Structure 1
Amino acid sequence: MYVPEIFKQFIQQYPEISDAYKKIGALSSKTGPMDEKTQHLLQLGVAIGAESKGAVRSHARRALELGAAPAEVMQAVLLSGTIVGFPSMMAAYGWVREVLAAKE
């Protein structure tokens, strides 16, 4: 699994915080019936709303790794436009295209 260099540095410098963060994520994932792919598509939408390039790229990548089709990931991007606005959607569109291009 791809891990950005900045996150590797964070893990090395703050391992206890990183472990706690991972534990919260794992516990949150187990609280309901959504499968992992759906969770990452949902998190992708939230990341788009937060305009977080790293999170958009991460959740797009993880959704794809879990079997999401590129069209499903792009649909999540397109659906965000009516909520977060065209500029935010277009930024996410570019970030996701980078992820898709890297997988080719």
Structure 2
Amino acid sequence: MADEVTDTEELPETASTFAETHPDVWDRYGDLGRACSQAGPLDDETRRLVKLALAVGAQSEGAVHSHVRRGLNEGLSAEQLQHVAVLGIPTIGFPKAMAARSWVTDLTER
């Protein structure tokens, strides 16, 4: 699984501009992502779900969208991705979990 985005056309405008302006920094950032992914025993699916959960907990709509998009491309189901938001209810609270669920739904109900 590629945790990094290599095609700058798929990036939001701000990230794409940064990647084009500072390619060495962007490349090192991608290297860090690959190293972190390979640093432990988790399989690809588990890593994607954990990264989605971290984005949910951080309340980062852009990161949630990114990990949902990647998860769908990697074969995860909408139900699996929605479950991550539901799991957040007792930890981050109902309102924040529902916000995250709406961000997941932005991409799973297209």
Q: Report the TM-score when normalising by structure 2.
A: 0.85
RMSD: 1.4
- 85, 88, 93: which is aligned to 1:85? 93
What is the CA–CA distance in structure 1 between the aligned matches of 2:33 and 2:102, rounded to whole Å?
26
C-alpha deviation, 1:14, in angstroms: 1.7
Q: Give the gaps of 5 or more residues in structure 2.
A: 1-6
2:80 paired residue number: 72
Asked if 1:14 is matched to 2:22, the reply is yes
C-alpha deviation, 1:3, in angstroms: 2.3
Q: Which string of whole-angstrom CA distances, capped at 9 and with x for unpartnered residues, describes residues 48-82 of structure 1?
A: 11111111111111111111111000111110111
C-alpha deviation, 1:5, in angstroms: 2.2
What is the CA–CA distance in structure 2 between the aligned matches of 1:37 and 1:11, rounded to whole Å?
27
Counterparts of 1:7-86 in structure 2 under 5 Å? 7-86=15-94
Bigger proportion of residues as helix: 1
Tell me the percent identity.
35
C-alpha deviation, 1:6, in angstroms: 2.1
Q: Report the TM-score when normalising by structure 1.
A: 0.89
What is the CA–CA distance in structure 1 between the aligned matches of 2:33 and 2:46, rounded to whole Å?
15
Most deviating of 43-52 and 13-22? 13-22
Q: What is the total number of aligned residue pairs between the two structures?
A: 102
What is the CA–CA distance in structure 1 between the aligned matches of 2:69 and 2:90, rounded to whole Å?
23
Aligned residue identity for 1:66: E
